[in-house]
Amino acid sequence: MRIHLFPAGATEPVTLAGKPGQSLMQAAVDANVHGIEAECGGLLTCATCHVYVREPFASQLPPPGSDELGMLEFTASARQANSRLSCQIALVPALDGLAVDLPPTQT
Ligand code: FES
């Protein structure tokens, strides 16, 4: 499945292949995408995997859990309505074509 990550200010995305069952963070780390540091490895303690999810995908995701909501208070770039932590986004076939923007502090 295809995933498109737009670095801050970029018009062209970095497109990578993700596998169902992976997190978006893991797919980005495996592809060495700059901007997804994921310092905690997905343990919900760093917020360095922050992304802004584009529609229509943002509305399709399960809502963030309380732990994710808590960590979203500590993002380096401003939190927005479509802010999510990519380690908590489980890739499923319905998310083929998923498009997210990377925050300006994650370059
Ligand atoms: Fe640390 Fe997502 S990788 S919170």
Question: Residue 30: what pLDDT?
Answer: 96
pLDDT in tens, 32-67: 999 999 999 999 999 999 999 999 999 999 999 999
Q: Which atom of ligand 1 is nearest to the CA of 49?
A: 2
Alpha-carbon torsion angle 104, 34, 29, 60, nearest 10: 40
Top mutation candidate among 22, 23, 33, 40 for ligand 1, by most atoms within 8 Å of CB: 40
Q: From residue 14, how far is each of 9, 34, 43, 58 by CA, in Å?
A: 12, 10, 25, 19
User: For residue 95, is pLDDT > 90?
Assistant: yes
Rounded to an integer, the average pLDDT of 70-74 is 96
Beta-ladder partners of 50: 85
Question: Residue 92: what pLDDT?
Answer: 97
Helix (H/G/I), strand (E/B), else coil: 34 = coil
What is the third-level CATH fold of 2-101? Ubiquitin-like (UB roll) (3.10.20)
Rounded to an integer, the average pLDDT of 6-16 is 95
Question: Residue 107: what pLDDT?
Answer: 81
Domain ranges for the chain, please list them.
Answer: 2-101
Write out the E strands in 54-97: 83-85
Residues within 6 Å of ligand 1 by CB? 25, 38-40, 42, 44-49, 71, 85, 87
Q: How many CB atoms lie within 10 A of CB 53?
A: 23
Measure 23 CA to ligand 1 centroid, in angstroms. 11
